[in-house]
Chain A
């Protein structure tokens, strides 16, 4: 039993923390808000050069780490600065799924992900699927040697910047079946694929992806026809770990901002942090953040365990993160008072990013329900 970071991960953490602190200046943030891509190309290539993307992949896939604790270290640091870089989309989901399912002709995409030259997005959720992983209505019908795809994918993060989009579509079965879901690697410029792009509350860009008679060759299929569900579940587990660790980093920064504010803001002749009504609430925030850290450790430690154990931890962690994220966001805004309501102040971006965590990969209620069926009933 050991809760210390290895020397390698300590170095990764230190280097990344320094890099992000220098890169994520307030002026960069203001610029990013206006940019259609949603993230900074400079920061992205900096991350690639530092080996941060490679740290998210196993050696067999061309990376040099890729375990649960590597993901946790990287994303906690990204969270600390409220980074908007699409590492979950391009590396964890996109790259992770190609690594799990891709053939020799497709795997070079991973090298391009690691060196920073390619952007990916994972188009899986649909307007009617909410958080259900197996509900896929987009269809892929055999057409000679290839497939024709029709359907609509909802809130596909990083789709506007993606060179290639991983699209899930049903090749057989009913709308909610686990079997019959196939995955395709689709170039963003394929005819019939159109995007309606928009910015996100949390920063970054997404799109509704419309597929109208999109014709693909059989070489676009990732893995076996109809057999993508297991890999999708595992990739989403790793993405849940990533976003949970990111949430933890956001919480830590928000806690620092808020305690600093409590020490400096004076009312009735003394710092408001001297009032016990606020001290005790802030102590509760602290306790819950420590719980969030433990939940991230639990998931990181079980991310490559057999599905049954892994998914129990996925739901436990994401439920707890969702609840704590709500507490930390709401308490920090409240304790800041009026300044916490302004868009200009640093808290705004961090708080919005944190509260939006609950809307990706299943919210607290979804995971509570799922945990009940996995562990309680």
Chain B
């Protein structure tokens, strides 16, 4: 038992920290701190900076142009990134598709797509969910019918995050209706510029079009764009989900959010005193901080197992539930902390280039939007109810 980083790990942390201090643009830090919407260019700018240093794909092996970090190093990197208020790395190409191509893709697919993910030439989005297939992912209905050297794709995907920026989409499609629902699924790479692809934004309750519907109307996709075997897509989809679950605890986000909450609660006044001195408010902060202290260690226990080569299994369900509940509670407390200034709808002021000053304190502006937006945390990536079912089957064996 040793809760401390090794000297090597400490040196790595210092290296990341000083790199971020030098290379992370102040303009981006400011946007992240105030909860402003990041543009496509913002993301691309930051990706390019990290890519120059070779740190954009921490989870990829060096052979594919990644950093080849182990789980502890990745944890340190993510922790430092959130500490520094860096924009998060957009995960669809780097965190999700990349590992799938490396494990199951053809040599040609690897050679063509992986460098384009690193360089930013391609922006991928995720075509998993459908109107009828949310947590029950295997009930995919979008079809791909074989026509010579092509598949013809028809159907609809939804909740496609940042699909408005994407030029490529990886999709689960139904290639067979035989057998169990899981057995007829294939994994296709689709160019969003193909005729018949249509993207429609969905404005969420925070006022932002973060997600989209994507429609496929007789879209022709070359057969060579299928990853792995036909009807084996479920295997690749699940493999992708295990990567989606790394950093699922979001400890860094929670720490940054808690620090921000405490700062606000010291600035806000209640009954002539700092809000943080109100015993009821202080108690709610304390409870979440105590839970977070334990969760950080729960997370490190899983991380250190992963670094030792044990693939995280159902433990990630524990991290998903605990991590999301903690972050949502921090968001709720932050919304409470700003009082009446939680009410003004500030969508325009959160856009880049807006010259509107905030109505109230600057920290109040994004509080409600962030609270509303993060209700998604317990819904996406397998809802927290799905995670509980996984735990009761995989660990409790009920």
Contacts and interface: CB of A to CB of B under 8 A. Distances in A.
Interface of A: 1-6, 9, 69, 259, 262-263, 271, 273-274, 276, 278-280, 282-284, 286-287, 290-295, 297-298, 300-302, 313, 316-317, 319-320, 368-369, 371-372, 375-377
14 contacts: A1-B3, A1-B72, A2-B1, A280-B389, A283-B321, A291-B295, A294-B298, A295-B294, A301-B1, A316-B293, A317-B294, A319-B286, A376-B276, A376-B289
Interface in B304-333: 304-305, 318, 321-322
Interface stretch (B40-48, B198-206, B277-285): B277-285
Interface stretch (B4-12, B238-246, B350-358): B4-12
A5 B1 contact: yes
Contact of A290 (B3, B4, B276, B318): B318
Nearest to A72: B1
Contacts of A298: 3, 293-294, 297
A69 B1 CA distance: 7
A80 B336 CA distance: 42
Contact of B4 (A1, A292, A316, A320): A1
Given A259-B397, A295-B293, A371-B286, A3 B298 contact: no
Contact of A291 (B322, B395, B397): B322
Contacts of A69: 1
Q: Say whether chain B's binding surface is mostly helix, strand, loop, or mixed.
A: helix
B396 interface: yes
Which of A4, A279, A298, A372 gathers most chain B CB within 10 Å? A372
Contacts of B297: 294-295, 297-298
B398 interface: yes
A284 B396 CA distance: 11
A1 B391 contact: no
B119 interface: no
Which of A1, A271, A274, A294 gathers most chain B CB within 10 Å? A1
Given A259-B396, A280-B388, A280-B389, 14 more contacts: A1-B2, A1-B4, A4-B1, A6-B1, A273-B392, A279-B392, A282-B396, A287-B318, A294-B295, A297-B1, A316-B294, A320-B291, A320-B294, A369-B283
B293 A279 contact: no
A375 B398 contact: no
A276 B396 CA distance: 13
A375 B286 contact: yes
Given A290-B298, A368-B286, A371-B286, A283 B388 contact: yes
Nearest to B387: A283
Nearest to B274: A377
B298 A291 contact: yes
Contacts of A273: 392, 396, 398
Interface in B39-94: 72
A274 B4 CA distance: 42
Given A283-B388, A290-B318, A295-B293, A2 B2 contact: yes
Given A263-B397, A273-B398, A298-B293, A377 B277 contact: yes
A357 B92 CA distance: 47
Nearest to A301: B3
B396 A283 contact: yes
B34 interface: no
A279 B398 contact: yes
A375 B289 contact: yes
Which of A69, A278, A279 gathers most chain B CB within 10 Å? A279
Given A283-B392, A294-B295, A3 B283 contact: no
